[in-house]
């Protein structure tokens, strides 16, 4: 019997962008206008190759306006430990099937999938978003064997997907890549902590012991 393929062969390069695991897809038809792209960038947070977030225009501070830059710092200061302890945990208590398991927190975009607003010839599926009464299509490439990856890890971990993108985009994507429902909980942009450099995922707020929590994310700090 031949040996089973290794993690790299089975699941792709876990530290690479999902789009790198597929050959360069050809685009079909005309792309979205600049205005449409700006609207979509507010819904889906994507990452640069170095892992830094591409912030939507609403979060970008004009560098020449020092007053706006100063004022924007007040609501995004990191939470102090005392205040953090008083917050309700982001995750619900462990269910019976996950008792005793450590927690695995997975990023969505550029970790499990790569999404594009432009048509992709090799897209695994597409979803439709309604933004301000207008329909948009998002084309999604899935990391090779992502479903098998989730299924096998769910036997060992409590699997959580934590994304900085909005729920109305994330839910239909997760539904597609997790048809068996092995992802126990989902967290979205509203669960992130907004900092000057983007959205941070504060693991101390999960309600799990940090020594039993693992995160896989392209933008970890």
Q: Which residues belong to the active site? A: 107, 109
Q: Is 39 helix (H, G, I), strand (E, B) or coil?
A: helix
Q: Are 151 and 181 in contact (CB under 8 A)?
A: no
- The owner of tokens 């099937």 is 97
Q: Measured between alpha carbons, how far is residue 91 from residues 4, 5, 97, 201 in Å?
A: 35, 34, 15, 13
What length is written for the chain? 221
- Report the half-sphere exposure of 98 (CA within 13 A, side-chain side): 20
Cα-based angle 187, 128, 136 (whole degrees, multiple of 5): 110
Residue 130, phi then psi, degrees to nearest 5: -105, 110
Query: What's the rounded Cα separation, in Å, for the pair 57 and 25?
Result: 27
Query: What's the rounded Cα separation, in Å, for the pair 62 and 56?
Result: 13
Which tokens belong to 211? Answer: 């020594």
């Amino acid at each position: 019997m031949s040996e089973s393929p290794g993690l790299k062969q089975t699941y792709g390069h876990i530290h690479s962008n999902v789009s790198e695991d597929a050959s360069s897809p050809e685009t079909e038809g005309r792309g979205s206008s600049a205005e449409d792209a700006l609207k979509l960038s507010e819904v889906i947070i994507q990452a640069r190759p170095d892992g830094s977030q591409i912030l939507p225009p609403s979060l970008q501070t004009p560098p020449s306006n020092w007053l706006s830059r100063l004022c924007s710092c007040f609501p995004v200061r990191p939470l102090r430990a005392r205040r953090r302890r008083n917050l309700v945990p982001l995750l619900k208590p462990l269910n019976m099937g996950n008792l005793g398991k450590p927690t695995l927190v997975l990023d969505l975009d550029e970790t499990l999938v790569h999404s594009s607003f432009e048509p992709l010839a090799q897209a695994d599926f597409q979803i439709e978003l309604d933004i301000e009464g207008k329909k948009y299509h998002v084309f999604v490439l899935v990391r090779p064997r992502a479903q098998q990856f989730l299924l096998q890890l769910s036997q060992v971990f409590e699997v959580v997907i934590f994304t900085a993108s909005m729920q109305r985009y994330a839910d239909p994507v997760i539904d597609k890549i997790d048809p068996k429902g092995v992802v126990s909980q989902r967290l979205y942009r509203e669960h992130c902590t907004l900092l000057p450099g983007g959205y941070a995922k504060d693991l101390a707020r999960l309600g799990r012991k940090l020594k039993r929590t693992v995160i896989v994310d392209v933008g970890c700090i």
